[in-house]
Structure formats: structure tokens, C-alpha cells
Amino acid sequence: MSIGNRYLCCCLIVLVFLCQPCCSWAKKIVKSDEIYQTSTDCWAPGLLEISFFDVGKGDAILLHLPDNRFVMIDTGYAETAPDLIKSLKALGVNKISLLILTHHHKDHAGGYPYLIEAFQVDKVIQSYDPREPAKNLVKPGTKLINSHGVTLTVLGPLQSYKDENDASLVTRLEFGHIAVLFAADAIEESIRDLLKNKKTLQADLLKVPHHGRFKGFSPRDFFLAAKSEYAIITSDEKAGDPPEGSVIRILKESGCRVLLTDELGNIRFLSDGETIDYIPGGKNE
């Protein structure tokens, strides 16, 4: 082999050697970018994750706070507790910093005895004493959470009500520029009182009160005051507990995207305080 050919051969070998790491590095960049893209769908420190669990016509809501604490709002039924506990453990829950019982109906508090057995619960909040329904335990304006940019403020009940649904605890969460309204089972009297301060009802995300079960167009003013981008309805059509068609119509006419747990299963949102995003992945998606 001539000197010229040897030189050419050596050059080719060097080029192959140099290009191979570059190609491998390029592949790593693509793979890393793919990981980055999927990681935006997962909780990370500094983010807020909100999960609405499918427990039939009942409420069970998990807040994964930016500082990695977990807060529960209601616990669903006794019979849905085993599946709820499995879902919570799958999300990494081993301790619940705050558990809020909005009221004592079985579709909101039925799972409570099972959750406190399954997890360490640091603090429990309820809106009134079941032994003395007229005695409120938390006052409107009370901040149940106030740390790492997240506040959860009590809006109601504003007074004592005969109907236990009206007496349920209504809260509003703020995280940066994002607001979420958890309206529990508030119905006529409670909603009428809450509407006296419409500014507090504005929210990007609304947990529709009373599972969307209202007569006619009675909640229209409430939904219009909320001006929400998303509306979550915890319902169970198979069990004969669908939301009223008029309620869905009002919400859609107000510009809401309506999401139902009986259609989608568990419903999840993620927020960085600037935006709030619905993360698809329910049973029909």
C-alpha cells in the first residue's frame, strides 16, 4: 500500500472514530429531550398537582403541594376506600399533612376511618361539629394552607344552615396567578351568600358543587361568577346520579370545559402557578 493510500485510510479511521461518539451523544440529546417532554406531565418540586378521584357520586381530592406535602379534601365512600388508598399509595402518599372533611355525608366522609388507618394524618379540619351542627369549627377567611406560594382559604359556610349540603366547607386555593374553587356540596342558601362577594369565586378550575345536581338553571349566577376554564363534576351516571343537563349546558355556555369522573375516571391537573393544565390519561383517553 502506497504512502498516499495509507494516509487516506488513516484519515477514514480517524473520521469514523470521531463521528461515532458524536452520533451517540446526539442520540442521548434526543433521548434526554424526550424524557424532559414527558416529565412535564409529572409532579416535581415547585409544582402543584390536583387529582380528582373517581369514587362514584362522591368527592375525594388530593393536593400534592409544591413542598411535597399531601392534602386531602374528602374521602369518598366507605366502599371506595380500598381503591382510593391504592391510588394514593401509587402516587407516593405515605403521610397526609391535612385532611379536610367538607361535611359528613357518606359520599364525602365515608372513607375517613379507613384513610386514617392507612396513613399518618397530621391534622383534620371540618366545617362544623356533627354533635352541634350550628357550631362552626372554622371561620370564613381562615387560611388552612399558607406556604410556598399556596394559600387555601375558607369561603364558607358563612352562617349556620339547616341543610347539611349548604353547611359544607367551601375553599379557594391560590397558587401564583392560578385559582381553584372547591365548592363541596353548596346549594341554594350557601351559594346565595357566597355570591355577595363574587370576586372570591373567580377561579380557573371549579369543582362543581353538589355533583352538578341542581334544579333547572338555579346555579347560573354562581357559574358565571366563577368564570372557570375547567369544571369538574364528580358524578355516577350508572348509579342513577348524573349531573343535570341544564348544569352542563350553563357551564359550557359560560366557556368551561366540563370533565366528569364517571366518564374519564381520575382527573389530574398540574400547575406551575402561571398556567394550569389538564393531564389526559383517564379510562376513556
With 60 as the cut, is the pLDDT of residue 18 above it?
Answer: no
Q: Enumerate residues 6+ apart whose C-beta is below 8 A from 136.
A: 127, 128, 157, 160
Cell digits for 232? 369538574
Provide the domain count of the chain.
Answer: 1
**Domain for residue 15, yes or no?**
no
Flag whether 237 is in a domain: yes
Q: Which of 1-10, 153-162, 177-186 comes out lowest in average pLDDT?
A: 1-10
CATH number of the domain residue 266 falls in: 3.60.15.10
Number of other CB atoms surrounding residue 257 within 10 Å: 12
Query: What span, in angstroms and rounded, lies between the C-alpha atoms of 254 and 249?
Result: 9
Question: Who wins on pLDDT, 164 or 18?
Answer: 164
pLDDT of residue 125: 96
- Residue 208 inside a domain? The answer is yes
How does strand 205-207 pair with strand 48-52? Answer: unpaired
- How far apart CA 32 and CA 47 sit, in angstroms, is 21
In a domain, residue 13? The reply is no
Domain presence at residue 229: yes
- Give tens-digit pLDDT for 61-92: 999 999 999 999 999 999 999 999 999 999 99
Nearest to 206 by CA among 238, 162, 250, 163: 250
**Is residue 106, in this structure, part of any structural domain at all?**
yes
Residue 281 corresponds to which cell in the numbers above? 390519561
174-195 average pLDDT score:
96
Gap between the Cα atoms of 103 and 117, Å rounded: 20
Residues 208, 201 contacting (CB under 8 angstroms): no
Is the pLDDT at 171 greater than 50? The verdict is: yes
- Provide the pLDDT for residue 19: 38
**pLDDT score of 133:** 80
Mean model confidence pLDDT for the chain:
86
What pLDDT sits at residue 7? 45
pLDDT the model gives residue 16:
38
**Higher local confidence (pLDDT), 1 or 65:** 65
Q: Is residue 38 assigned to a domain? A: no
- In total, the chain counts a number of residues equal to 285
Residue 160 within any structural domain of the chain: yes
* Structural domain boundaries enclosing 219: 44-279
